[in-house]
Amino acid sequence: MTRVRGVWWMLVPVLAGTACRKPPQSDTGQGPGAVLTDLDRAAIQKVDSTFERVANDGVLDSVTALYAEDASLLPPNEPVVTGREAIRQHWGRVMDSYSLRFDVVSDELEGRGDLAYLRGHFTLTASPKAKGAAAMSDRGKFVKVFRRHADGSWRFVIDIYNSDLPSK
């Protein structure tokens, strides 16, 4: 009995270390520890390029559809906008006032399981729809967090962007 007890205590650190170790990463794109597959990466990039295209075309419903129902938009110098309908209203106000020209570049895309993030930079020209007003230009950076949904689609759940230009 004493000998078994001695062996048991020697195994506790080994078993504890094994239990605390992260599970091996899968490349299947399934499960909480799975790395992003090439298909996941392509789908996420497509969502981002679709945002650029439909925002530039002024298609509000298509912009809004890229966000999850519970998404949060964190625009510069404004409070957080939470929920797809509130995000729709935000972008609607912007698109009612301006014609937008985004150029978006992805710098980093990473993720695991059903979450991913995309970091990048942008340039923007916002041309007021009101006659006689001058266009505004901006450049900045963004981070977008995506979640894979039950239907396999990826949508924005957090979208934050801000300017690189000095405050005036």
* Phi, psi torsion values for 91, nearest 5 degrees: -65, -30
Whether pTM > 0.85 for this model: the answer is no
Confidence of residue 30 (pLDDT cuts 50, 70, 90): low
What is the arithmetic mean of pLDDT over 24-40?
Answer: 67
pLDDT recorded at residue 156: 98
Are residues 151 and 140 in contact, defined by beta-carbon separation less than 8 angstroms?
no
Distance CA 97, CA 48 (A): 23
List, in sequence order, every residue forming a beta bridge with 90; answer none if it has no partner.
none
pLDDT, tens digit, for every residue of 88-109? 999 999 999 999 999 999 999 9
Are residues 47 and 155 in contact, defined by beta-carbon separation less than 8 angstroms?
yes
Q: For residue 157, how many other CB atoms are within 10 A of its CB?
A: 19
